[in-house]
Chain A
Amino acid sequence: MKMERRFTSVHQTITFSRRMMLLGCGQAAIGAVLLGRLGWLSVRENEKYQLLSESNRVQLIPVPPRRGWIVDRHKVPIAINRSSFRIDLIPQQLETPESTLKTLAELLQLTTDDMDRILRELKLGHGFQAVQVAENVSFEQYAAITVRLPDLPGVQATRGFSRYYPSGPAVAHLVGYVGTANEKEYEAEDKNPLLIIPGVKIGKQGLEKSLEKYLRGVPGGQRVEVTARGKLVQELDPKPDRSGQTVQLTIDQGLQEYAARRMGDQSGALVAMDVANGDLLAFVSMPAFDPNSFSEGIGRTEWKMLSENDHIPLLNKVAQGLYPSGSTIKPAMALAFLKQGIDPKRRVHCAGGYQIGNRYFRCDAVHGSMDMHSAIERSCNTYFWATGLVTDPAQTTEMVNYLGYGQEFDLPIPSQRFGTMPNPKWLEKKYHRKWQGYDSANTSIGQGYVLVNPLQLAVMPARLASGKLLQPRLLISDRQESVKPVDASPEHLEIIRKAMAAVVNGSGTAVASKLPLDGIQMAGKTGTAQVFRLGERGHQSNWALRDHALFIAFAPADKPRYAIGCIIEHGGFGAATAAPIVRDSMTYLFDKQKALAALAPLEEQWGGTLAQRNGRQLAAFKAQRTAT
């Protein structure tokens, strides 16, 4: 065992000095570390922290750009922006939601519908996203809110712009509408902060949606210095916004609106095309909603009314409505026959029907002896059944498809449907069976599997009239490449055109729809597409079971300039409902005064203009709902 060393005061002094040394060194080391760390932060990492400090200090508040206009071929506005006042709620800043909402309801005269929507959005929304209270409020109301703002925390009154469609429902299905971005759209754009600014709307339907990238513009930025609590200290130099581009359409706004009004309360579609270049002049689907009320955030009642209507005002019938073409297919069929060497003078006797296999197909009338011209003029089915049997169905159907039926077009319209032009190969693939005589028979009168959209109803006569393989276009900027001629001999085309002219001007099915103009004749073809069973055709009391009425036309018959295709759902005979609408619309293109004069008595009979009738309908619906 080692003897313990005696620890004296001498040792103590030595230990103290040594420990003091250690302590001093330790402290010096820590001091050095502190200085080093300070230098590291403020010199080596200075740049990084300066950036962070700057991004703390300065925030960029996006300034929404003005949405680009949509104008027609004559630069007449179709969709514009109106200066408007709006009131919003910021849920996070809302201190007394109940009393605030009550005050707002009084000042803005909000309906229960509006209150429902606001409460629903407040519940669903995120605290940061503004909830719209009212848009397009009057200046008086705006001022009334503004002076009370200090007592209404969470309420925001701003001046902005709102989308306005001067002709309302007439362009609804063409341009669509705009609306506040929903969560999915916000996520899809990587949480673009622009989309959650109150009042910023994006295209939801139609051209507004498909042309979004042109129309939106580039947001500017207001650079502001803010405190950690978000209080604005000062505004720094702003970055200007760039308005969206103006998009010029090929549409003729006047014709568009005229056709929409001319359709009255009927459900249908009308497409007009410039035969010279494929410009679409009208793109009408009726009845329609008012895109203005959609863009403002539609009320529940109005939405209910629209979705309950059996005329389906929410469906874009031009792009998505598919109908049997009926007899409008006949001119194209005839051209296909001619191409296969059928002599136009070849005659077929119509005894009121035709036997194919073990089935007897009934014609509309006993037409007697028919050649190609009279068969188109009088729309004799027997002629087409008989001729269809002596020609090659594959070639015939291919020709019809080539002329437009069942064809796809590249148009900036979201979700289009293009229908079907059946052919033997398609039938084999889809239904696994051989093409039969009755398939030829059904197809040659535009029934059976034949489904076309209203756009094709305009493209077909345009191609027949011009002899060019026109492509429809909606944007002036979509310059058409050189248009190929239709692969058919000019003489054959002339035979078809003559026959179509006779439909309206000879002794055909649409003689009641001659143009009321001197020296301008219209050529056309009626169609009546069966919706229900054979035998119950034609005019009957149940609207939903009535046949569709179709009419395709071009004018002038000798020197075609315009082509129109029209379908009136459940309109009965094509000659009775569709042809007059086409006639008046065609008249509008040549003589506006005359066309408008023809419309006036009709609208009087229907009970006012489109806007008046729509307004009354909504009021009646509301009254009925509150009554029940």
Chain B
Amino acid sequence: MISSAIIPQPLARLPWRLIFVIIGIAGIGFLTQYSAAGGSVRPWAMKQGLTVLFFLSLAVIMSTIRENTIKQLAFPAYAVILIMLIIVEAVGFVGKGAQRWIDLGFIRLQPSEFMKPAIVIVLARFYELLPAGDIRKWRAIWPAVALIGVPWALILVQPDLGTATMVLLGGVAVMFIAGVPLRVFLIPAAVLGGAIPIVYQFMHGYQRRRIDIFLNPESDPLGAGYHITQSKIAIGSGGIFGKGFLNGSQSHLDYLPEGHTDFAFATWVEEWGLLGGALLILCFAAVVVWGLRVASNAKSRFAQLTAAGLTATIFFYSSINLMMVMGLAPVVGIPLPLVSFGGSAVMTVMICLGVLMSLERQQRTTSGLTR
């Protein structure tokens, strides 16, 4: 928030501190894309920069939407996205191949991406409608489980384990915040832990291999474990200060695969070291803290749950990627939002931020009395 007589009110009201942090993260992304291309804005950096600017503007525009509008759109939007998911599945079935998008000609819509914020919003709406006394009852649980489970299953069979996991985690986060009894989380967690060996049996070959390799990446350093091994080499060899901008040998000599997409963090840390890596992590932390504060300060239950859920989504998005590139999680194909090349992640995060900014704006502009 900048208070100045010169700057017009609507602009001054924007959460500038957050926007600066976001631009900072996107700037790191830009530098990483630039370096990954061997010191060139083509083919990634420029495109990515424009994508970020476009979706950031979109987020700013979204911040003017009123909370009520979002509420009203929650169920219809969820339904539309779910139908799109089914269409994608059907087309994929007909086309006899994995299909994750609907091709509209000018843009390829990946409905699963929209599901990440949508699941949060629809659950927030659901728990808002649920009477406070029912939260410990069965009827507080099964509709939520269904709302999460159906898209989750549809996305999982695409197959897109990364996105499915994100949808699941986002939904579960809202349930958790809403106050669903702890045993609802703990018992399935325990069951899941026991069921992992069985689930493992039903996984796709490549998914199974990713888990094998996560458990022991060195078992196959030249094959599928190559990604994790090379990523750790890139990060570890950077040291405290890094090898210097444009001097990353791992990324420039192509030892690090996907250095501009999923493993962009490794590219960044190799050149900027521990300091650069920590800066990026702290930037994400700042975004999450801001989001949590929006949730804490929210005056309606819907706003509380939505803000906390969307923040959790952003958090999971970034932290799962970071865990993956540092060898703490299996390679599931989740990009680092705003840093990795690719529009969908930017779009999702910006939708989340747009909704969050809208909620934040209304916290400041509406008085507690009008609630």
Query: How distant is the Cα of A15 from the Cα of B234 in the complex, in angstroms?
Result: 43
Instruction: Assess the A42–B233 pair: CB atoms within 8 A.
Output: no
Query: How distant is the Cα of A11 from the Cα of B19 in the complex, in angstroms?
Result: 35
Interface residue tally for chain B (C-beta within 8 Å): 47
Q: Which of A31, A38, A39, A43 contacts B285 (CB 8 A)?
A: A31
Stretch at the interface among B29-37, B80-88, B95-103, B237-245: B237-245
Query: How distant is the Cα of A424 from the Cα of B236 in the complex, in angstroms?
Result: 78
Closest beta carbon of chain B to A24's beta carbon, Å: 6
* Central interface residue in B236, B238, B292, by most chain A CB within 10 Å: B236
Q: Does B363 contact A (CB under 8 A)?
A: no
Instruction: Assess the A43–B274 pair: CB atoms within 8 A.
Output: yes
Instruction: Assess the A42–B136 pair: CB atoms within 8 A.
Output: no
Stretch at the interface among A47-55, A197-205, A508-516: A47-55
Query: How distant is the Cα of A31 from the Cα of B239 in the complex, in angstroms?
Result: 20
Known contacts A45-B236, A229-B254: does B274 contact A38 (CB below 8 Å)? yes
Known contacts A37-B326, A42-B277: does B292 contact A53 (CB below 8 Å)? no
Stretch at the interface among A1-9, A477-485, A580-588: A1-9
Query: How distant is the Cα of A39 from the Cα of B250 in the complex, in angstroms?
Result: 19
Closest to A12 in B: B132
Q: Does B315 contact A (CB under 8 A)?
A: yes
Q: Does A57 contact B (CB under 8 A)?
A: yes
Residues of the A chain whose Cβ atoms lie less than 8 Å from the Cβ of B235: 38, 41-42, 49
Q: Does A20 contact B (CB under 8 A)?
A: yes
Instruction: Assess the A12–B236 pair: CB atoms within 8 A.
Output: no
Instruction: Assess the B249–A53 pair: CB atoms within 8 A.
Output: yes
Query: How distant is the Cα of A9 from the Cα of B237 in the complex, in angstroms?
Result: 53
Query: How distant is the Cα of A49 from the Cα of B235 in the complex, in angstroms?
Result: 8
Residues of the A chain whose Cβ atoms lie less than 8 Å from the Cβ of B238: 42, 46
Instruction: Assess the A7–B136 pair: CB atoms within 8 A.
Output: yes
Instruction: Assess the B269–A42 pair: CB atoms within 8 A.
Output: yes
Instruction: Assess the A50–B253 pair: CB atoms within 8 A.
Output: no
* Central interface residue in A37, A39, A229, by most chain B CB within 10 Å: A37
Residues of the B chain whose Cβ atoms lie less than 8 Å from the Cβ of A54: 237
Stretch at the interface among A157-165, A220-228, A273-281, A467-475: A220-228
Q: Does B177 contact A (CB under 8 A)?
A: yes
Interface flags for B266-279 (1: CB within 8 Å of A; 0: not) read: 00010001100110
Closest to B176 in A: A19
Q: Does B208 contact A (CB under 8 A)?
A: no
Query: How distant is the Cα of A6 from the Cα of B132 in the complex, in angstroms?
Result: 9
Closest to A46 in B: B239
Q: Which of B179, B254, B327 contacts A16 (CB 8 A)?
A: B179
Q: Which of B134, B135, B274 contacts A39 (CB 8 A)?
A: B274
Q: Does B255 contact A (CB under 8 A)?
A: yes
Instruction: Assess the B240–A42 pair: CB atoms within 8 A.
Output: yes
Query: How distant is the Cα of A54 from the Cα of B134 in the complex, in angstroms?
Result: 61
Residues of A219-266 whose CB lies within 8 A of B: 225-229, 233
Instruction: Assess the A12–B239 pair: CB atoms within 8 A.
Output: no
Closest to B221 in A: A52
Closest to B257 in A: A228
Residues of the A chain whose Cβ atoms lie less than 8 Å from the Cβ of B328: 33-34, 37
Query: How distant is the Cα of A39 from the Cα of B240 in the complex, in angstroms?
Result: 8
Q: Does A76 contact B (CB under 8 A)?
A: no
Closest to B230 in A: A56
Instruction: Assess the A49–B269 pair: CB atoms within 8 A.
Output: no
Q: Does A27 contact B (CB under 8 A)?
A: yes
Instruction: Assess the A41–B326 pair: CB atoms within 8 A.
Output: yes
Q: Does B295 contact A (CB under 8 A)?
A: yes
Closest to A28 in B: B285
Residues of the B chain whose Cβ atoms lie less than 8 Å from the Cβ of A30: 315, 319, 323
Q: Does B25 contact A (CB under 8 A)?
A: no
Query: How distant is the Cα of A225 from the Cα of B255 in the complex, in angstroms?
Result: 12
Instruction: Assess the A38–B253 pair: CB atoms within 8 A.
Output: no
Query: How distant is the Cα of A24 from the Cα of B289 in the complex, in angstroms?
Result: 8
Q: Does B350 contact A (CB under 8 A)?
A: no
Residues of B127-181 whose CB lies within 8 A of A: 132-136, 173, 176-179
Q: Does A427 contact B (CB under 8 A)?
A: no
Q: Which of A19, A41, A43 contacts B179 (CB 8 A)?
A: A19
Instruction: Assess the A53–B239 pair: CB atoms within 8 A.
Output: no
Interface residue tally for chain A (C-beta within 8 Å): 42
Residues of the B chain whose Cβ atoms lie less than 8 Å from the Cβ of A57: 249, 253, 255
Residues of A459-510 whose CB lies within 8 A of B: none
Known contacts A7-B136, A27-B288, A50-B236: does B281 contact A34 (CB below 8 Å)? yes
Q: Does B312 contact A (CB under 8 A)?
A: yes
Instruction: Assess the A53–B233 pair: CB atoms within 8 A.
Output: yes
Q: Does A23 contact B (CB under 8 A)?
A: yes
Closest beta carbon of chain B to A34's beta carbon, Å: 5
Closest beta carbon of chain B to A12's beta carbon, Å: 5
Q: Which of A15, A20, A49 contacts B237 (CB 8 A)?
A: A49
* Consensus secondary structure, chain A interface: helix
Known contacts A6-B133, A7-B135: does B278 contact A35 (CB below 8 Å)? yes
Residues of the B chain whose Cβ atoms lie less than 8 Å from the Cβ of A43: 239-240, 274
Closest to A53 in B: B237
Q: Which of B132, B134, B234, B274 contacts A9 (CB 8 A)?
A: B132
Q: Does B296 contact A (CB under 8 A)?
A: yes
Closest beta carbon of chain B to A44's beta carbon, Å: 9
Q: Which of A20, A34, A39 contacts B295 (CB 8 A)?
A: A20
Residues of the B chain whose Cβ atoms lie less than 8 Å from the Cβ of A226: 253
Closest beta carbon of chain B to A542's beta carbon, Å: 66
Closest to A58 in B: B249
Instruction: Assess the B323–A34 pair: CB atoms within 8 A.
Output: yes
Instruction: Assess the B237–A46 pair: CB atoms within 8 A.
Output: yes
Instruction: Assess the B326–A38 pair: CB atoms within 8 A.
Output: yes
Known contacts A20-B292, A23-B292, A27-B315: does B135 contact A42 (CB below 8 Å)? no
Interface flags for B98-140 (1: CB within 8 Å of A; 0: not) read: 0000000000000000000000000000000000111110000
Instruction: Assess the B239–A50 pair: CB atoms within 8 A.
Output: yes
Q: Does B344 contact A (CB under 8 A)?
A: no
Query: How distant is the Cα of A56 from the Cα of B319 in the complex, in angstroms?
Result: 28
Residues of the A chain whose Cβ atoms lie less than 8 Å from the Cβ of B134: 7
Instruction: Assess the A16–B239 pair: CB atoms within 8 A.
Output: no
Residues of the B chain whose Cβ atoms lie less than 8 Å from the Cβ of A7: 132-136
Query: How distant is the Cα of A389 from the Cα of B15 in the complex, in angstroms?
Result: 125
Closest beta carbon of chain B to A350's beta carbon, Å: 84
Instruction: Assess the A38–B278 pair: CB atoms within 8 A.
Output: yes
Closest to B175 in A: A19
Closest beta carbon of chain A to B135's beta carbon, Å: 6
Q: Which of A23, A31, A49, A233 contacts B177 (CB 8 A)?
A: A23
Known contacts A38-B235, A43-B239, A225-B253: does B322 contact A12 (CB below 8 Å)? no
Closest beta carbon of chain A to B297's beta carbon, Å: 11
Instruction: Assess the A34–B322 pair: CB atoms within 8 A.
Output: yes
Closest to A44 in B: B236
Closest beta carbon of chain B to A54's beta carbon, Å: 8
Residues of the A chain whose Cβ atoms lie less than 8 Å from the Cβ of B327: 37
Instruction: Assess the B255–A56 pair: CB atoms within 8 A.
Output: yes
Q: Does B209 contact A (CB under 8 A)?
A: no
Q: Which of B237, B253, B254, B319 contacts A34 (CB 8 A)?
A: B319
Q: Does B47 contact A (CB under 8 A)?
A: no
Query: How distant is the Cα of A38 from the Cα of B230 in the complex, in angstroms?
Result: 15
Instruction: Assess the A20–B255 pair: CB atoms within 8 A.
Output: no
Q: Does B357 contact A (CB under 8 A)?
A: no
Closest to B235 in A: A41
* Central interface residue in A8, A41, A228, by most chain B CB within 10 Å: A41
Known: A15-B135, A53-B236, A53-B237. 8 other contacts (CB 8 A): A6-B133, A12-B135, A17-B296, A41-B232, A42-B238, A43-B274, A49-B233, A50-B237
Give the 6 A-B CB pairs with smallest separation, nearest first.
Answer: A49-B236, A53-B237, A15-B179, A228-B254, A42-B274, A49-B237
* 30 pairs, A vs B, C-beta closer than 8 Å: A7-B132, A11-B132, A12-B135, A16-B304, A17-B296, A19-B177, A19-B179, A23-B292, A23-B308, A27-B315, A30-B315, A34-B326, A38-B235, A38-B269, A38-B281, A42-B269, A42-B273, A43-B239, A43-B274, A45-B236, A46-B240, A49-B232, A49-B235, A49-B236, A50-B239, A53-B237, A56-B250, A56-B255, A227-B254, A227-B255
